[in-house]
Amino acid sequence: LAPIAEMIGGKKVQLEVFRDRVRSRKEGKGGSSLRETLGRLSREAFIPENVSPDYWNYVRWRFLQRITSSILSVYTTESMLRAVGVGAKRSLPTAAAFNWLLKDGIGKLGKLGIVTKLGSQYDLELKKFRFLSTVVCDIACGLEMLTPLSPQNFLLLASIGNVGKSVGLSIALATQPAFHKKFAMADNMADITAKSQAQHVVADTLGLGCALGLSHLMQSVSPQMRLALPFLSFPFLAAADIVLVKKELRAIELKTLNRDRLQVLASHWVGSGRQVVPSGTMSKIENITFFPFSPEGTWPLQVDSVSQSLTDVGSLCVYLKHYEKEEYMLIPGKRGPLARKTLRLVFSASATERDLLKGVLQASYFRTLQGKSHSESEVIRRSKRLAEQNMNQFERDVRSAGWQTRPMLLFDSKYPGYVLDLDWKRKLESLQQQQKDVVDV
């Protein structure tokens, strides 16, 4: 044996000297069995090396979700082809082709508009957008399946459905690299992406085979059952698709901090004796929908601008003076037609990651102090003081638990942070005096 070995696929393989030539000991063994050869080729084709432990749970659910999505796609395409008359005795190929191309064109324009509007938000809420993309795609598939029932409205239904599917697909494709980056342990994103595409090919093929097999089975039972199969299967396929993508997202342990993950960390730290939620637990409990969220169930937090949060001069004066030495403002209020109690965090243009942490920590203290016979202004004052006293320890605990505090994903580059004039106090006094004069008149 040579005094040296190679690491192949994570395993140590000793080298040996044979007839004055250095070779791997594997080369000296007889031919591998067909099963071993197929297993090795399958691993090389579908399984990436150097990935984080949560990858395997993720890819299992991802593979199953891709199969259900493929079956759904087969049945929606079949429904639309039937709606435009493909296969019918009186089908009009030119009209069918025109309608099909027109709905594709409208779908692309719709995707362009929505993606342009929301693209900068994807990195802030990766899981939320990925989950939303599946829901939108399933709704779009439902609309496309309705086209045979109303052929005269084919263009309307198919265009709306195509917009939904285009938007959903673009969101899924945009968020996928961020997940792959998280899984990569050795700067091997390209390898993970390539293996992911190979997995998708297999899953799509299996989905196509399942769809054709079910169709053949229903045809042998009854032609009417065969025609009704897409409509009967849709609720089950759509539900399975949503459940599987939810499990897929729950398997991903992101360590970046967005608004909701930071809220959970701060709330648990305040209420449990300064214990930090690990990333594995966070992935199972974090919010992956766009509904208003609060760990305590009340006073959901929203990052907003000054112009949206403070609409009268009196409130502006009060909060600017109260947060004079801070780079943020926590503003409680009511929002929406239901006048729901909401906390709004407003940050200055020069706010740092520490200011973002402090603002969310104060929001957790604010919720804890609510309902203890304090006025709202007193709760703001006390929560701010508690955040100041405990901020250093909270920041250390969060970082020591492995959470990434840079960058903080609370808002994107388009966020309108506030900037105070050098003589802002004098201008505030002038505004207050003008308001007083108006009242006196």
Q: Read off the pLDDT of residues 164-218 as tens digits, 9 standing for 90 and up.
A: 888 898 899 889 999 999 999 888 899 999 999 999 999 999 999 999 999 999 9
Half-sphere exposure of residue 433: CA atoms within 13 angstroms, side-chain side: 6
Backbone angles phi, psi at 179, to 5 degrees: -65, -40
pLDDT of residue 2: 60
| Cα–Cα nearest to 107, from 65, 165, 49, 62 | 165
| Cα–Cα nearest to 335, from 297, 295, 377, 292 | 292
CA distance 165 to 136: 7
pLDDT of residue 423: 84
pLDDT of residue 157: 87
CA distance 5 to 11: 10
List, for the chain, all residue ranges whose pLDDT scores fall below the cut of 70.
1-3, 6-11, 17-20, 23-33, 84-104, 107, 337, 373, 437-441
pLDDT of residue 87: 47
List the Cα angle 109/115/121 in 5-degree steps.
Answer: 170
Beta-sheet pairing, 5-8 with 328-335: unpaired
| Placement of tokens 């090396």 in the chain | 49
List the Cα angle 394/356/375 in 5-degree steps.
Answer: 80
Sign of CA dihedral 147, 151, 156, 158: positive
- pTM here is 0.85
pLDDT of residue 89: 47
Half-sphere exposure of residue 375: CA atoms within 13 angstroms, side-chain side: 3
The encoded tokens of residue 384 equal 């701010």
Residues 6 or more apart whose CB falls under 8 angstroms from that of 174 comprise 115, 119, 122, 129
CA distance 364 to 377: 16
3-state secondary structure of 296: coil
Q: What is the pLDDT of residues 302-326, one digit of tens each?
A: 999 999 998 888 888 899 999 999 9
List the Cα angle 341/413/364 in 5-degree steps.
Answer: 30
pLDDT of residue 247: 96
